[in-house]
Amino acid sequence: MALAFKPIIPHTTTRASLRSSPLGFCSSSPNPTHPVLFHHFPHTLRPRIRRIAHGVSASKSNVTTTLSDVEQHRQLKANDNGSTPTSTSNTAWSEFARNVSGEWDGYGAEFSNEGNPIELPETVVPEAYREWEVKLFDWQTQCPTLADPEGSALNYKLIKLLPTVGCEADAATRYSIDERNIGGLNDKVSAFAYQSSGCYVAVWPTENKGSYNLMELEHCLINPQDRESRVRVIQVIRLESMKMVLQSIKVFCEQWYGPFRNGDQLGGCAIRDSAFASTAALEASEVVGIWQGPNAVANFDASQVNSLQELVDDNMQKSVRDGLDLVLLPKQLWCSLKESNDGGTCSEVGWLLNHGHAITSKCTFSSKTTLKEISVACETAASEGA
């Protein structure tokens, strides 16, 4: 959904206590301007952001009873199977838990493997939009997230809200809830790499679709200069005869609105973002060329019992992008999935923070589609002749 005008309400909850990024190279200020979508239709039909009343019913999914922070922490600890993140100290995980936990609200959209936005299902689009021939591509979303600072468990819910028009009701309706668990007895992730800043990469297991399998690579990148702003890019990968093919892309642009409340209340009119799916995509010229910068790495192999790994500072990374395999997306984002020189596959997601400065995430797979490495880097475009 798009907003034509929205008042900005002062955001009183801050995260000033967050530590600076371990990849301190990303110190330049981000681009303050991003394209904003404006639909051209009467004022009475402009979508409104609602506050969600406690106990509102969900469509297609049951809404669980809201848990307090303490109760949820206890539940996560009770479900912990005793595993702990490897190659890390308790401090690194606890800092990650503090930075990733909270109410993350925003917008989400799905794109084809060529970067074209996919319209929302017709069944969820209000009649008023169809009458005015307004196309909707964006879900308004919530992503309440909580990690146990003393264990190795993380839980989040992706909540999609039904589009609404005008002032039909005081409460929004939840269309769907997708709950994900990392660590503990309910662990569903194949591999998970995290950084104390709140960045992480999750490899979600394959789903059998008959003649082929699907897997998801979730890249969560935090803006180094604004820890209340993040993007999550999910690459949906089709596995066919030991080949990895990009099928679609899901993008979520989210802002932090306060401590964990299990999605009990939406950010309301204070939400600091807009629908983005049909806005201009990133220009290829902003990305191609030689890039370099410090990176943090987590290594994986088939013999590992624990799927959780800390991203540990490594050497400088050098990347060369020619633009041939790039999928250019709105919000200064891009991604790619291409074959490497050794017959394996490299997945990449990037976020251009401002001209010449980006944060990237990579997953490297063997020729047998086995995960080998995950890395996150803060990169700067190299000067001519570098």
Above 70 in pLDDT, residue 169?
A: no
Average pLDDT rounded to a whole number, residues 22-48: 35
pLDDT band, residue 338 (cuts 50/70/90): very high
The domain over range 43-381 is classified in CATH as 3.40.50.1820: no
Q: What is the pLDDT of residue 341?
A: 87
Q: Residue 108 phi/psi, 5° resolution?
A: -140, 150
State how beta strands 191-194 and 308-310 pair: parallel
Q: Residue 335: is its pLDDT beyond 60?
A: yes
Residue type, 15: R
158, burial (CB in 10 Å: exposed 0-12, middle 13-18, buried 19+):
buried
Q: Is the Cβ–Cβ distance between 350 and 358 less than 8 Å?
A: yes
CA distances from 150 to 20, 85, 88, 153 (A): 21, 11, 13, 9
pLDDT of residue 344: 95
Residues 6 or more apart in contact with residue 253 via CB below 8 angstroms? 106, 107, 108, 231, 273, 276, 331
In whole angstroms, give the CA distance from residue 122 to residue 85: 43
Helix (H) / strand (E) element for 72: namely helix 69-79
Confidence of residue 12 (pLDDT cuts 50, 70, 90): very low
Mean pLDDT score, 323-331: 95
Question: Can you tell me the mean pLDDT for 161-188?
Answer: 83
Entry pTM: 0.80
Rounded to whole angstroms, the Cα distance separating 66 from 174 reads 14
DSSP secondary structure letters along 190-234: SEEEE-TTS-EEEEEEEEE-SSSEEEEEEEEEEETTEEEEEEEEE
Quick: pLDDT tens for 135-165.
999 999 999 999 999 988 999 999 999 998 8
Give the integer Cα–Cα distance in Å for 191 and 307: 5
Q: Where in the chain are the domains?
A: 43-381
Chain segment 43-81, per-residue pLDDT in tens: 333 343 333 433 333 333 333 333 444 344 444 444 444
H helix or E strand, kind and range, residue 357: strand 357-365
Cβ-count burial of 42 within 10 angstroms (0-12 exposed, 13-18 middle, 19+ buried)? exposed
What's the pLDDT score for residue 265? Answer: 73
What is residue 137's three-state secondary structure?
A: coil
For the chain, how are helix, strand and coil distributed in percent, rounded to 5? 10, 40, 50
Mean residue pLDDT across the chain: 79
In 10 A of CB 56, how many CB atoms? 15
| Beta carbons of 290 and 317 less than 8 angstroms apart | no
Output the six-digit token pair for 20. Answer: 């600076």
**Residue 324 pLDDT > 80, yes or no?**
yes
Render pLDDT for 235-287 as a digit per residue (tens, 0 to 9): 999 998 889 999 999 999 999 999 999 998 765 555 678 999 999 999 999 99
Q: What is the pLDDT of residue 305?
A: 66
pLDDT tens per residue, range 113-140: 999 999 999 999 999 998 999 999 999 9
Section 223-237 average pLDDT = 96
Does pLDDT of 200 surpass 50? Answer: yes
175: left (phi over 0), alpha (psi -120 to 50) or beta: alpha
Kindly indicate the confidence band of residue 184, based on its pLDDT and cuts at 50, 70 and 90: confident
Q: pLDDT at position 180, please?
A: 97
3-state SS string over 19-55? Answer: CCCCCCCCCCCCCCCCCCCCCCCCHHHCCCCCCCCCC
